[in-house]
Structure 1
Amino acid sequence: MGLLRIITRIKRSLLGYLLFWILCIYSGLFPLVAMGIFSVIEKNSQDLFIKNSHVILQTFVELLDGTELRGAESRLLDMLDNAVFVGDLSYADMIVDGRVITSNLIDQERTKNFREDRGFGEGGDQIYFVSSLLYSENSSSAIIMRFGFDENPVEESIRNAYLRASFFFVAYMVSTVLVLVVAARKVTLPISKLRVNSQFIASGQMGKRIDIESSFDEVRDLANDMEKMRSEIVKKSRILEKSSNRDFLTQLPNRLVFSQRLQESICFAKDNNTSFALLIMDLDRFKEINDGLGHQTGDLLLQRLSLSMLGAIEIADFVGRLSGDEFAIILNKADSKKVESVCVRLQGLIREPYKVNDRTVTVGASFGVAFYPRHGSNEKDLMRHADIAMYHAKKRGLSFSVFVEHQDEDILRQMQLRSDFQCALPNKELQVYYQPKVRLVDQKISGFEALVRWQHPTEGLIQPDDFLLLAEQSGLINDLTFYVLRQATADTARWRGLGYDVNIAVNIAPKNLTRDAFSQQVLDLIGETGLSAKHIELELTENDILDEPVQAIRILETLHKKEIKIVVDDYGTGYSSLTYLKKLPISILKIDKSFVMEMQQDDDNSEIIKASILMAHNIGLLVVAEGVESEDAMRFLKSCGCDWGQGYYFSKPVPGSAILGLLESFGVRMQP
């Protein structure tokens, strides 16, 4: 297992892989090749030896003259000795007329047993024995010449050939491996450099250019491709870095950049003993526009506002988008005067009408201000206190608010209530109360205004002023409107079923008028509760209409055509005139309670009430006066011709369970 692991590790590298397979090839192929070559060398050497042996023998045979040599033993011995000396013989003799003549130069012990060989190496005596017959013309007997050739020189020659061939093969294999190593290094070294460069790229160090020299086209192409990749990554990284620091929609610095900038401002102010102001800005009514007119309209509005804000602050200051319709501004070396100036300037720009997709939209903004180091010495405290100040400004209807300590507890309570309100509808904590509208001419109840109350499990009864804004901010205002409308119309249908001729008035919110489907949803709901549309009044303020006049008028006209009466609530607190209201599909005008409650202290209010009632009647509108809390006020309104009165003089708002008793107390008889 250890050897296998080592081989596996070696094969993982290119050089090791090549060497492994080269060695495998050599190990398998070289023995076969060597055996083939060695066998050929051995066979050729032996065959040549045998051939030469026969040639030498035949040469000496041809030199013999049987006639002359008979009886000349000394000459025969000389010839044999010469043959041994010249032919490198180990054995040489002749048999002449049955007599053996042997050379004196041979080893008698080694050659005493002559036996002619048919091939090389026979007999195991390292001597190749051959013989030849020579017949004489003058004798009937034959002369036999016998030679023995030493096989050792041939075997030595074969061994030397083996050694030379083996050396050649080993040298060839080593040379091949060395050449392969050098060639592989020419490939692996640039690849190793490319690997180092790729590690730099992977670690984010992409500043160094990839420039690899190689004699191989493939390696150069790979290096060029990696350099192109590195360049593209650098290019894309710069684009991503820029986009990651910018809000995609507005191109303002995003929350991450804001956080870094705020930290830098804190460090700079701390080191230089200076101060700066952090402003958190939240748009008013943006959610209504975004939901009612579509996200595209909301996005375009944010882009326009962002450009306006950039042009309204100094270059050294900072503005960024945190999320949605929330922005952050850092004013360096700012005092209260500079903050107020910037807030006023920005408010003026933001409140200008913006034309978006053929629609004119208007929004406002609420600013919360926190100063460093007065309101916090770190990012967390500054952000929290600026947020709290912003919520305080929004709740109070202020353009901006500088953080003070008491806001902390107030906002924390508001935040808790906002969280609790999410459960108010599902837990049936909201209750509908009714305040009667009384005909002043006969002091009879003709209808009710539906008012919602929140029975909080721990806070007790909470008035609408404390949670309606929470409903708008949490996106539940539409659900709240239809909850009240459903309960009020169902109760009124029940009372009318008992014979009481009463109508019901329900307040609607500005956000309701931004929904195209609102009118149809109202008609569907009253169809379910069974109350006729002519007994329903929908109340809204003049500002609610002015915010989105085109859409609002279209929705109100649809409802008006179905006999639902439209009531302008809190008349006198807005900026519209009766001449303008005449153009709207409204039926009833409701004078704000502030005029009625203060008319005894201010004669101007009395004159305003008289004029408003007169002009409303002249354009065909009926009039309701709110805030009737005394008999004198009731008599004055009656003398002015006011149609209805509503206030604590008649009754405070009561739950639905008390309505029948209230009707009886006013002497309202059931209709047959």
Structure 2
Amino acid sequence: MNGAHVVLHSSLSYIQAQRVINADQQTLNWFDVTFSRDTPYLTRDIKLPDTLSNEVSITLAVDVSTHFDNFTQLQFSILGISLLAIAGSMLLSMFMASRVNKPVASLVTAANHLADGNYEQCVQTSGHLQEINELSDAFVRMKDSIQSREQRILMQSRLDMLTRLYNRSYMEELIQQRLDAGESLQVIGINIRDFRTINDLYGYSNGDTCIISIAERIKRWRGTAARLSGGELVWFANEPLTDEQLETFHTILEQPVATQQLVMPIKLVFTVVNCPADADNAQDLFRRMNILLDEAEMGANWLLQFSSEIEQRYLRRLSIITELKEVLQSEQDELSLVYQPKISLKTRQVNGLEALIRWNSQRLGFIPPDEFIEIAEQAGFIEQVTDWVLNRVVADILILRAHQIHIKPAVNLSTQDIQNRPLLERLIALLDANELSADNITLEITESDLVADAKIAIANLQFLQDKGFSIAIDDFGTGYSSLAYLKNLPVSAIKIDKAFVLNLSTDTEDQQIVHTVLSLSNIFDLEVVAEGVEDANAMEILAEWGCDTAQGYYISRPLPLGGLIDWLASSDYYQH
């Protein structure tokens, strides 16, 4: 009733049968089998004829609980096997991972050591896998390759590539290590004199050959050597050399360098600094070696040992360079010109002046012109000094003309000035701008300047002569040329150096030299000026022997422009 089924007959109990009918469990799923065990029956309805189907239905129910139990047992078996398989797999994975992780960890550790630059740490792996072993072998090869390449780079960073000696940086490090360890060192600088000239004369390839040959000779002596730059090398032994050993060492290194085409003579300068007495650190050592090298360039000695006096001279040169540059670039009254009159020995009248520069530094005091002019030449700014002198001389010529004084001043030009064509052209432009000509000034050139670079000097002297300048050779007798050589130069006068004139009255050797020069100059039609005339006897001797012009303190000291004007106004040597 009410659509509910009524059990009429069943092999099961009424309540159980009713439950099976109500459940109507035609099929089972995994959830029912596993978790729902209330009605372990499968049912099937049996079709009856239509006349009965509306009243009665037959349902077959099969008890599958046994099958449930078997299936559940099977599931538990499968689950157990699965768990065992998973556990086994995990254990196997852990075992396999341990066989991989340990050698990989070793490689990671080795890689960290390699990154820190520790190449001595061994790469230890205990892996049994071929791949791990191959990776380990590749890592070892990589470590060896990196170590070898770094060693080559390190060695190259320490070596001079041309000579295979150490370079300056590493030599400085080595010396500092020795000094820090409390050792005493005798460090010898080995410098090729005029190395640039060797390169210019023989070519850079032969210059390199020269350096390599000297380096190979140094290597035969037990010690440590480095090339600093160019033709500068440095060497020290474990024990200091005696003076005799130094001379022997110098003689061996200074042997000419021979190639297949030529033989190159070389001159070496040794500079010696004893550490820690002269310098207690590498920086001071190299600074003082540079001081010695600077000193060596101004002399001819092959051996210089450091001393405080040399350092003081060097510091003075630096001060002069600094102060003079500053003076030249500013409006100042420290630099001045003085003029020393020259007189004709025939007329006994002033026929010329020599312009001489003076420097009274506010900080350094009076600096002799020979000192600061030489330093300016060495430092490479003599051109600025000459420019200042030429501008001042031209301005003074105009002042003299305003006082109706028409006397030609002479200006000294240095070695670098003679080779500086733009400077000479600026002089011509300066004269033109002030309505003056080359006939209003005389140029004096030191004799040795012509020998320094004769080709350029002669070409520029010819250029000046063609422009109308009178040219005189100053300090004749102190250089290397002869009258026969000078007669072919575009010069019109020579000045006998005062060293031969100062004692002319009493020194027979000076008398012979001066007399010979005067006789030969007369043959070559050269005017002669004798400077350094200090007494009347010397002036009379020069006049008797045919000297043209005299200059010296006997006639007048060098005078500032105002003093010169006053002196001319009162002197018997100048007729208004």
TM-score by structure 2 length?
A: 0.75
The answer (yes or no) to whether the contact 1:446–1:501 under 8 Å persists in 2 is no
Pairing partner for 1:426 from 305, 309, 329? 329
Residue 503 of structure 1 corresponds to which residue in structure 2? Answer: 408
Pairing partner for 2:159 from 242, 246, 250? 246
SS in 1 for 2:501: helix
Structure with the greater alpha carbon radius of gyration: 1
Is 1:400 aligned to 2:303, yes or no? yes
Residue 521 of structure 1 corresponds to which residue in structure 2? Answer: 423
| CA distance in 1: counterparts of 2:143 and 2:460, whole angstroms | 59
Residue 246 of structure 2 corresponds to which residue in structure 1? Answer: 339
Residue 278 of structure 1 corresponds to which residue in structure 2? Answer: 187
The residue type equivalent to 2:362 in the other structure is P
The residue type equivalent to 2:187 in the other structure is L
| CA distance in 1: counterparts of 2:160 and 2:103, whole angstroms | 43
Q: Deviations over 1:534-566 (max 9, x none)?
A: 444443333322232333333333333333344
| CA distance in 2: counterparts of 1:643 and 1:411, whole angstroms | 42
| CA distance in 2: counterparts of 1:298 and 1:558, whole angstroms | 32
The answer (yes or no) to whether the contact 1:538–1:567 under 8 Å persists in 2 is yes
The answer (yes or no) to whether the contact 1:436–1:449 under 8 Å persists in 2 is yes
Pairing partner for 2:437 from 506, 519, 532? 532
Pairing partner for 1:132 from 40, 46, 49? 46
Percent identical: 25
Q: Deviations over 1:365-401 (max 9, x none)?
A: 6544345677577767766766665555555654434
Alignment of 1:313-462 (within 5 A): 315-317=221-223, 319-323=225-229, 326-330=232-236, 332-340=239-247, 342=249, 367-371=270-274, 398-404=301-307, 406-427=309-330, 428=332, 429-462=334-367
| CA distance in 1: counterparts of 2:387 and 2:300, whole angstroms | 26
The residue type equivalent to 1:598 in the other structure is N
SS in 1 for 2:340: strand
Is 1:474 aligned to 2:388, yes or no? no
| CA distance in 2: counterparts of 1:519 and 1:615, whole angstroms | 32
Alignment of 1:21-32 (within 5 A): none
Residue 388 of structure 2 corresponds to which residue in structure 1? Answer: 483
The residue type equivalent to 2:558 in the other structure is P
SS in 2 for 1:240: helix
The answer (yes or no) to whether the contact 2:172–2:283 under 8 Å persists in 1 is no
Shift of 1:249: 5.8
Shift of 1:454: 2.5
Residue 109 of structure 1 corresponds to which residue in structure 2? Answer: 15
| CA distance in 2: counterparts of 1:536 and 1:166, whole angstroms | 123
| RMSD after superposition | 5.1
Is 1:543 aligned to 2:456, yes or no? no
Shift of 1:477: 2.8
| CA distance in 2: counterparts of 1:489 and 1:345, whole angstroms | 55
Residue 654 of structure 1 corresponds to which residue in structure 2? Answer: 559
The residue type equivalent to 1:108 in the other structure is Y
The answer (yes or no) to whether the contact 1:249–1:299 under 8 Å persists in 2 is no
The answer (yes or no) to whether the contact 1:385–1:403 under 8 Å persists in 2 is yes
Residue 530 of structure 2 corresponds to which residue in structure 1? Answer: 625
Can you give the 5+ residue segments of structure 2 that lack an aligned partner in the other structure? Answer: none
Alignment of 1:20-419 (within 5 A): 100-103=8-11, 106-112=12-18, 115=21, 117=24, 119-120=26-27, 126=39, 127-133=41-47, 145-150=58-63, 195-206=108-119, 224=138, 233-248=146-161, 252-259=165-172, 262=175, 277-280=186-189, 301=207, 304=210, 307-308=213-214, 311=217, 315-317=221-223, 319-323=225-229, 326-330=232-236, 332-340=239-247, 342=249, 367-371=270-274, 398-404=301-307, 406-419=309-322
Shift of 1:597: 0.9
The residue type equivalent to 1:336 in the other structure is D
SS in 2 for 1:491: helix
| CA distance in 1: counterparts of 2:319 and 2:71, whole angstroms | 107
| CA distance in 2: counterparts of 1:488 and 1:396, whole angstroms | 33
Shift of 1:519: 1.2
The residue type equivalent to 2:246 in the other structure is V
| CA distance in 1: counterparts of 2:570 and 2:145, whole angstroms | 85
Pairing partner for 1:555 from 460, 470, 473? 460
Shift of 1:113: 5.5
Shift of 1:463: 0.6
Shift of 1:595: 0.5
Which range moved further: 428-437 or 584-593? Answer: 428-437
Q: Deviations over 1:566-617 (max 9, x none)?
A: 4322211222222222333333222111001122332121121121122223
| CA distance in 2: counterparts of 1:141 and 1:343, whole angstroms | 139
Shift of 1:526: 3.1
Shift of 1:418: 4.1
Shift of 1:527: 0.2
Shift of 1:187: 7.5
| CA distance in 2: counterparts of 1:588 and 1:512, whole angstroms | 19
The answer (yes or no) to whether the contact 1:571–1:592 under 8 Å persists in 2 is yes
Shift of 1:310: 5.4
The residue type equivalent to 2:522 in the other structure is H
Shift of 1:495: 3.7
The residue type equivalent to 2:483 in the other structure is L
| CA distance in 2: counterparts of 1:141 and 1:631, whole angstroms | 176
Alignment of 1:573-584 (within 5 A): 573-584=478-489
| CA distance in 2: counterparts of 1:647 and 1:133, whole angstroms | 161
Shift of 1:157: 6.6
TM-score by structure 1 length?
A: 0.66
SS in 1 for 2:328: coil
The residue type equivalent to 1:107 in the other structure is S
Q: Deviations over 1:79-110 (max 9, x none)?
A: xxxxxxxxxxxxxxxx9xx994443xx33332
Which range moved further: 298-307 or 527-536? Answer: 298-307
User: Given the superposition, is the C-alpha separation of residues 338 and 165 from structure 1 closer, same or farther in structure 2, using an over 3 Å criterion?
Assistant: same
Which range moved further: 151-160 or 430-439? Answer: 151-160
Shift of 1:173: 6.9
Which range moved further: 630-639 or 590-599? Answer: 630-639
Can you give the 5+ residue segments of structure 1 that lack an aligned partner in the other structure? Answer: 1-94
The answer (yes or no) to whether the contact 1:368–1:388 under 8 Å persists in 2 is no
Is 1:586 aligned to 2:491, yes or no? yes
Shift of 1:297: 6.4
SS in 1 for 2:326: coil
The answer (yes or no) to whether the contact 1:194–1:223 under 8 Å persists in 2 is no
| CA distance in 2: counterparts of 1:527 and 1:544, whole angstroms | 24
User: Given the superposition, is the C-alpha separation of residues 114 and 222 from structure 1 closer, same or farther in structure 2, using an over 3 Å criterion?
Assistant: closer
